[in-house]
Each structure stands twice: as C-alpha cells, then as structure tokens.
Chains A and B, each alone.
Chain A
Amino acid sequence: MTFRKRIAIGTALGLLLLWPTLALGQDEAETPAAPAVSSGGGKELAAEDDIGSAWEVCTALRDRERVSLNMRTARQLLKKAGADLDQDVWDDTIESLERLQYTDFDSEASRKIALGDVEDNLDTICKALRSIVPPVAAYDFPNDDGLKLVVAWRDVEGADSYKLQRRDLSSAEPDKWSDHAEIDATGTGGMRFDDDKKLRKYHRYQYRLIPMANKEPFGEPLLSNETETRPQWFSGMWFFIFLVVICSAVVYYIQQVKSGKDIYIRKIAGLEAVDEAVGRATEMGRPILFIPGIQDITDIQTVAGLIILGRVAQTAAEHDAVLEVPTSRSLVMTTARETVKTSYANAGRPDAYDEKRIYYTTDEQFAYVAAVTGVMVREKPATCFYMGAFYAESLILAETANTTGSIQIAGTAQPAQLPFFVAACDYTLIGEEFFAASAYLSGEPHQLGSLKGQDVGKIIVALFIVVGVILATVITLFQAEYSWFGDTLDFIQNDILDVAE
C-alpha cells in the first residue's frame, strides 16, 4: 500500500472517530426561549435515571466540573419537569463564568466577588434541580458491577446529622429496617451517600432517612423510592472503539504482509548491532550478559525482553558464544531457561546449552544490582544487553559495564531511565523500538505487519493532537471556553479520551 493510501485510511478512520465531536456543537437546547417558570413550579421527575442525572449534575455543578455540559443537561431535566428557569439565569451564569475565567483581577477581593457570583448562579440551578427530585432519592451507581447504590437527599432545615436505614425488599425479611449509616449534615442544600456495604446484585432496596438534631430524631422519617442494584454490562465505548481499530489494523497488516506485500521498516541501529555484538563476544572469548529487567513476567517489558533473549540466544548459539542471564524473579528464570534452550536447539547446538548460566539471584532491586555488577567486574562480559523494565539501577549497571569495556545495547519502556541508557550505552532502543525488536530481529512477515498496524494508531493520535491543539488555541485566543469550541474540547478530553483530572 502506498504512503498516500495509508494516510487516507488513517485520516478516514480519524474523521470517523471525530465526527460526533463535530456534531456536538449543535445545542440540543436551542429552542425558542421558554416562558419564565420559577423554580419549584414544575412536577417532580419520575424516572430513576433522570433523578440520578439530576443529583449527579448538581454535584458536578457544585464542584464546577464540566460546567457547560452539565448546565445543558440541567436545562433539559428542568424542561422535562416543566420547571425551566428564566433565560436570564442561564445567560447570567455563562457571563459570570466567563468573567471569572478571563478577567485579570487587580485584587483577590475582586476575584472572590466574581467567584461568589458564579457560585450563586450555579446554586440557583442546583436549587431548581433539587426542587424537581423527590426529597430522598436512591438510584443505582452508574457503570459498576452492581454492588453500589447512591442515596441523595435535600437538606432538612434544623438537622445536624442524618441516620440512614435500609431494607432489602428481595430478602426473606423485606420489612426489616437496619441501621446503615450516620452522616453529619454539610449545609450545602443537598447531600449524597454512596452505599457499597453488603449489597447483592439484582436486589431491590429502599432507604429511610431520619433527620437528627443533637443525636435525637428530629422531624418525620423520609422514605426513598425503591431501587435495584443493576450491574452494567458495558462501559468505555470510546476506549473499546480505539482498541478495535488498532487491533484490527494490526491484524489487517499482518494478513497483508503474509499475502506477500512488501513493507518498509527503517533501520534501527541498536538491533543492527546485535550480530556484531555477539560476534565480538565470540572473538574475545568473553561471555554475553543479558539482563531481562527487574520486573516479573507479568510486565509486558519483561515478556518483550525475553522474546529478544530468544533471538540473541539463537545468534549466540550460532556464534558459539557463552550467554549468561541473571534474573531477578523466579518465574522469569524459568521462562528464560525454556526460551534459551529452544533457541539453542533451533540453532542446532542443544549440547551447548548450560542451564546453570541462567539463574535467579534475588528479588530485591539493589541486591540484584550488586550481584550483577559483581558478575560484570569478575567475568568482564564482552557484551551486555539490558532489555526490560529498569528503575534506579539502570545507571549503575551501565556504568559498571562501561568500566569493564563491554559493548552495551539497552532497551526499555521506562521513559525516566532512557536518558541514563542513552548517556551510558552504545545503543539504546527507545520506547516502541524496544517492542519492535522482536519483529525486526525475526524478519518474519507476520511480525513485521504488526509494526505497520501500530502506525495506524500513531496517525489517529496525531489527528487528535492536531484537532485538540487547534481547539485549545482558539479557546485561549478568543476566550471561547463556554462556546461550541469549549464543548467540543471538553467532549474530546472527558468522553473520548477520559482524561482524569
């Protein structure tokens, strides 16, 4: 496939993923200005999902999270209940937010006044939301395994704490109330309690809230709606889409290359030097030291390192070089032995395999380093390979081997250790070069195809970077955080990429 076709496919995929963001700018709430309805003038929401949404939005607005999106949702819910606020309220809220965001305040007092305006406006919206939900509401926690419920309620005037009771309507004693929690009042207008104690899936529960004053019951107990614990069967749509796209690309290109298509892979100096490094060891009569990192076999870097070990072992067997592999984990030792044994057998030298050369030292980081550096100083290997996960010990290993005159080839996916390896080693495989090493050294078509598939992922990432940078620049230059641009960037960051704050 030509380069242009690759770009075209990647762009098409990227646009396919991005089209919802382009459609996001259409404000679903673009209706003619609703007649002024004061808060509390509508009916209460009935659907549990709507009630849950109202409380979630209220909590998010109070914390000023994703304000634009949550205001839109709040307005939709208020309209559904026939309790929409005046257009002026919404406009004032946006204005106060923009004033807080973009004004260069000359004093802290001015900034606090602006912040106070924002909080008052958002509080107005929250009060309106609380007026359209039952006084106490219970709903299923979203996107969980069905073992969590949320109870939310409006503050009761005069209460300084609340006692929460719960009954399991699906149990043998549906009428039995049990004391569940005691919560101090916060005075913020509404409260929320996440309940994850001893719940069972697909059971119906109901809560009873008892307002307390000075540890004595105060006022009438309030009953919530009945709700059911429901496990969700799917979450993370965007992540799933990305995973499918990238994996499909990998599989597609593997098939393409298997069917005979030729692909170009750029030269990687560190991998080209493997043969030379092994040959050096043979000529000097000194061993090769291979260190597969200090993490266990569960780390993908260790697996990648062991895959490279297989290739290096085969080359070492062909060149009749001695290979030594001290490991930091017992399972890695076991796996490395199998790998090296098979490599020697494949090279036609099963007799040259020596199990004792692959041994376990210790799990402790610096004790392992001390052992390996001792081996380096005593045995003076001609070549050292560092392929796997490393931490602070990387420089100790590299510098010690440097003093003994070894040629060093390193590869790791730990960005913090790469500078040390680059400074101290002769060749370094940076990031994805390390993961590509196996395919590169094998030269097998179906492995090389996977490298091509990774490129599709890079194109998608690059498209997101370009779009995100353009949006962020426009927002900063034109103070457009609460416009379509801000909404789109918010959607990309929080819904598609799920960037945690």
Chain B
Amino acid sequence: MKRNVPLLITAIVGFILILSAFIPNIKALSEETAVYFDIIAAFALVLGGGNLLRAHGHNVYKQAPGWGYSAVTVVAFLGTLIIGIGKVAVPPHTGLHTLASSGNHMALVTLDGTQTKRDMIVTLRGAEANAEAPIVIDGTQRGVIKTDERGNGALTLEWKKPAEESAEPAENEFLSSLNIPEVIQRPESEAPPPPAYVPIKVQVGSLTGQLEPYGRLTGDHIANGSWFWYIYEHIYKPLQATMFAMLAFYVASAAFRAFRARNMESIMLLGTAFIILLGRTALGAWFTYHLPEENFWSFFRIENLSNWIMLTFNTAGNRAIMIGISLGIAATSLKVLLGIDRSYLGSDKG
C-alpha cells in the first residue's frame, strides 16, 4: 500500500500529462494537474524550512563543531522571514480604496495613486441583474455600471475633478491629497510634506463608502526602501555576484589542469580551445587581421575559424548528445510511469 498508492498516482498523473500533449481538448486538465505539484511543494517548503531550523538549531544548542555557521544560518533565516512577513518598513500601497458592502452586495473602489496611472476601478458584485448602478463621487455622477445576468459589473474611470475636466490634472494631484503614514523619505527627495487628506465620498448604486489611504501592510514587501529589499539588494545580490565571479578563476584553474598535450585527442582539444579562445578576443582578431575579408583566405581569420568550429563541430556534437539525452529521458520516464523502476520510491525491487 505504501508503495502502490504513489505508483498509481505517478502513473495516472503521468498519463494525463502525456495524453494532454495529443488531445487539445484536455489541455486545461493537464494545467490543473500541474498545479497540484505547486500545492504539495508549498507544504514541502515548510518541511524543508523546519528541517533546516531543527538541524542547525541542534548544532547551536549542542555547540557541535562549526556551530557558529549554524548560528549565522538560523539568525539569517529567522530574520529574513520575520522582516519579509512583517513587511518591516514597507511603504503602503499609494492610492485610495474603499469596500462598501451589504450582505453579498459589495462594491470595491480603488484609485491608483501613482503619477502615471490615474484610473479609478469600480467593481460591483451581487447587485440587481441587468441593471444600471450610477457612480457618484463627491456628489457628482461620474459614470454608470451596467450589471450582467449575475449582478456583477466593472468600470474604469479616468480620474478628473469636474471643474478641471478640460485642464491637465496637476502632477501630484493624488499624492498631494493623500496623507500616507510611515513613508520612507529618500534623502534626495525635495517634495514638500503632503497636505491633510480630505475624505472623498463614493456612492455606487445604493452602497456608499469613503475613499481611504491603504493600510501599512498593503505595500509590496520588496518595495524600494523596505528592509527586505535592503537585504536582497545589499547582502544577497553582492554575495551571489561574488560566488558567480569565482567561476572565472575556477575556469582558469580547470583549463590549466585539463588542457595538457598528452595524446592526439588532448592536442586537438587544446588546439581547438586555443582557436576558440583567441577568436573571442580582440587580441586574437588582431593576429589575423591582415588576411583579406572576402575571399578564400578569409576563412582563416581567427574569428571566422572560431565561428565555423562552433557552428559545425560543436553544434554537431551538441545535437548528438541531445539526441541521446532525449531518448534516455523517454526511456527513463517510461520506466518510472510503468513502475518498472521504483528506486526513487525507496523500493527494493526495481
């Protein structure tokens, strides 16, 4: 039972995904099936995180050799988790919103507060079917939502004050009317402090509400200026770049060890690598620049020779490997789907 159920799930899901490649009508089913993995992976993430904390916490507790590294891991893990989930120092989403409701009947009004977008989006749910609901802002009707057979509807309005419909709105018209608390002020910012916010009344059909600024936790956790953003930009990215940069030195040391002229094959490898390397540099091109560009001898210009080797030999070898890999994948997948090979499940019978 412990092995048969996973095998059955593997076979069923695998064959659904294979069939969906040939039956366009069930493509949606395969996409839904693939979502199950995302759900399981979300649970597994908790499992992995918990295991990480347990293992390193144990090392710290027991002061096992290398426990300092474990302490750094635990502190970094928990610190980033708390800062990210708690949205520490995250500016709230700029804009206004209100949610007016009465039972299942609800209206959501959002007004994006950025300078480039001035749309007010009004969404209505559970209203009278096939009816019209006027949208009134500060006593002025600005639009009408037409509901469908389910009583739902939506409308996007361009925000303009009635008296200034013919004029371009001021650049900071929204922001100047918002009173956004706890905004991180950039040192170079010279904007004057915003004036006090005057609430805007909105009526959608029979529902009324008042546009309010967004709360503190509505902002994006990776918004510029937040602590999570700071950790990513100034700690994680430099560390990642450091590790990646080490590759250059590792390539040099690996090449030094590998490219030795021991036999004919290694001589050919060395020679080819030499040509390719030179062909990718300006210095290499300088060695053969005196060769003409457009006749038989142009083939021996180092950059052309390098390209030719990459396009013919390298591509051919690459494709040969890919063909073998594809067949290997097909055979391995078939063995897994049919349950012929069950080692990955921990089965003692392959």
Interface residues of A (CB under 8 A from B): 143-146, 172, 231-236, 239-240, 243, 246-247, 250-251, 254, 296, 298, 300, 303-304, 306-307, 310-311, 329-331, 333-335, 338-343, 345-346, 356, 359-362, 364, 366-367, 369-370, 374, 378, 392-393, 395-396, 398-399, 402, 413, 415, 418, 420, 422-424, 430-432, 434-436, 438-439, 442, 444, 446-447, 450-451, 453-454, 457-458, 461
Is B350 an interface position by the 8 A CB rule? yes
A-contacting 9-mer, from B41-49, B172-180, B221-229, B302-310: B41-49
Is B340 an interface position by the 8 A CB rule? yes
A152 to B69, CA, bound (A): 66
**How does the 8 Å CB contact mask read for B305-329 relative to A, with 1 for contact and 0 for none?**
0000000000000100111110111
A-contacting 9-mer, from B111-119, B277-285, B331-339: B331-339
A236 to B346, CA, bound (A): 36
Interfacial chain A residues near B332, Cβ < 8 Å: 300, 303-304, 435, 438
Is B290 an interface position by the 8 A CB rule? no
Interfacial chain A residues near B163, Cβ < 8 Å: none
Interfacial chain A residues near B49, Cβ < 8 Å: 330, 360
A250 to B328, CA, bound (A): 11
**Which of A300, A418, A451 gathers most chain B CB within 10 Å?**
A300
Interface of B, helix, strand, loop or mixed by DSSP: helix
A300 to B325, CA, bound (A): 11
A454/B343 contact (C-beta < 8 A), A345-B348, A396-B247 known:
no
A232 to B28, CA, bound (A): 13
Distance of A162 from chain B, by nearest CB (Å): 24
- Are B341 and A438 neighbours in the complex by a CB distance under 8 Å? yes
- Are A366 and B335 neighbours in the complex by a CB distance under 8 Å? no
- Are B323 and A458 neighbours in the complex by a CB distance under 8 Å? yes
A304 to B333, CA, bound (A): 9
- Are A434 and B328 neighbours in the complex by a CB distance under 8 Å? yes
- Are A339 and B344 neighbours in the complex by a CB distance under 8 Å? yes
Distance of B15 from chain A, by nearest CB (Å): 12
Is B239 an interface position by the 8 A CB rule? yes
6 A-B pairs in the complex with CB atoms less than 8 angstroms apart: A246-B331, A343-B346, A346-B348, A402-B257, A432-B325, A450-B331
Is B216 an interface position by the 8 A CB rule? no
Distance of B188 from chain A, by nearest CB (Å): 32
A399/B331 contact (C-beta < 8 A), A339-B343, A341-B346 known:
no
A423/B44 contact (C-beta < 8 A), A234-B23, A418-B321, A450-B331 known:
no
Instruction: Give the number of chain B interface residues (Cβ < 8 Å).
Output: 63
A-contacting 9-mer, from B91-99, B120-128, B206-214, B248-256: B248-256
- Are B247 and A392 neighbours in the complex by a CB distance under 8 Å? yes
- Are A423 and B254 neighbours in the complex by a CB distance under 8 Å? yes
**How does the 8 Å CB contact mask read for B52-91 relative to A, with 1 for contact and 0 for none?**
1001000000000010010000000000000000000000
Is B167 an interface position by the 8 A CB rule? no
Which listed residue (A250, A369, A370) contacts B334, Cβ 8 A? A250
Interfacial chain B residues near A457, Cβ < 8 Å: 327, 330
A438 to B345, CA, bound (A): 14
Interfacial chain A residues near B343, Cβ < 8 Å: 306-307, 310-311, 339, 438, 442
- Are B247 and A423 neighbours in the complex by a CB distance under 8 Å? no
Interfacial chain B residues near A342, Cβ < 8 Å: 346-348
Interfacial chain B residues near A367, Cβ < 8 Å: 239-240
A431/B247 contact (C-beta < 8 A), A239-B22, A254-B340, A335-B344 known:
no
Interface residues of B in 266-295 (CB under 8 A from A): none
**Which of A307, A329, A393, A446 gathers most chain B CB within 10 Å?**
A307
**Which of A246, A339, A369, A399 gathers most chain B CB within 10 Å?**
A399
Given contacts A145-B24, A243-B18, 9 further A-B contacts (CB under 8 A): A234-B22, A251-B334, A330-B41, A330-B51, A333-B51, A359-B51, A364-B236, A435-B329, A461-B323
Is B25 an interface position by the 8 A CB rule? yes
A454 to B335, CA, bound (A): 12
Interfacial chain B residues near A345, Cβ < 8 Å: 348
Chain B residue nearest in CB terms to A360:
B48
Distance of A258 from chain B, by nearest CB (Å): 10
A446 to B338, CA, bound (A): 12
A435 to B21, CA, bound (A): 23
- Are B246 and A396 neighbours in the complex by a CB distance under 8 Å? yes
Is B297 an interface position by the 8 A CB rule? no
- Are A329 and B48 neighbours in the complex by a CB distance under 8 Å? yes
Distance of A187 from chain B, by nearest CB (Å): 32
Interfacial chain A residues near B253, Cβ < 8 Å: 399
A310 to B348, CA, bound (A): 9
- Are B328 and A334 neighbours in the complex by a CB distance under 8 Å? no
- Are A331 and B330 neighbours in the complex by a CB distance under 8 Å? no
A356/B55 contact (C-beta < 8 A), A395-B247, A435-B331 known:
yes
A396/B348 contact (C-beta < 8 A), A231-B25, A415-B325, A432-B328 known:
no
Distance of A338 from chain B, by nearest CB (Å): 4
A453/B350 contact (C-beta < 8 A), A235-B24, A366-B239 known:
no
A366/B324 contact (C-beta < 8 A), A330-B45, A399-B250, A415-B318 known:
no
Chain A residue nearest in CB terms to B29:
A145
Distance of B76 from chain A, by nearest CB (Å): 10
A216 to B250, CA, bound (A): 67
Is B27 an interface position by the 8 A CB rule? yes
- Are A334 and B258 neighbours in the complex by a CB distance under 8 Å? no
Is B296 an interface position by the 8 A CB rule? no
Which listed residue (A310, A392, A424) contacts B258, Cβ 8 A? A424
Which listed residue (A233, A330, A415) contacts B321, Cβ 8 A? A415
- Are B331 and A453 neighbours in the complex by a CB distance under 8 Å? yes
4 A-B pairs closest in CB distance: A330-B48, A435-B328, A342-B346, A432-B328
Distance of A198 from chain B, by nearest CB (Å): 11
Chain A residue nearest in CB terms to B65:
A378
A303/B344 contact (C-beta < 8 A), A423-B255, A451-B331 known:
yes
Interfacial chain B residues near A311, Cβ < 8 Å: 343
Is B243 an interface position by the 8 A CB rule? yes
- Are A432 and B247 neighbours in the complex by a CB distance under 8 Å? no
Interfacial chain B residues near A300, Cβ < 8 Å: 329, 332-333, 336
- Are B257 and A423 neighbours in the complex by a CB distance under 8 Å? yes
A444 to B350, CA, bound (A): 8
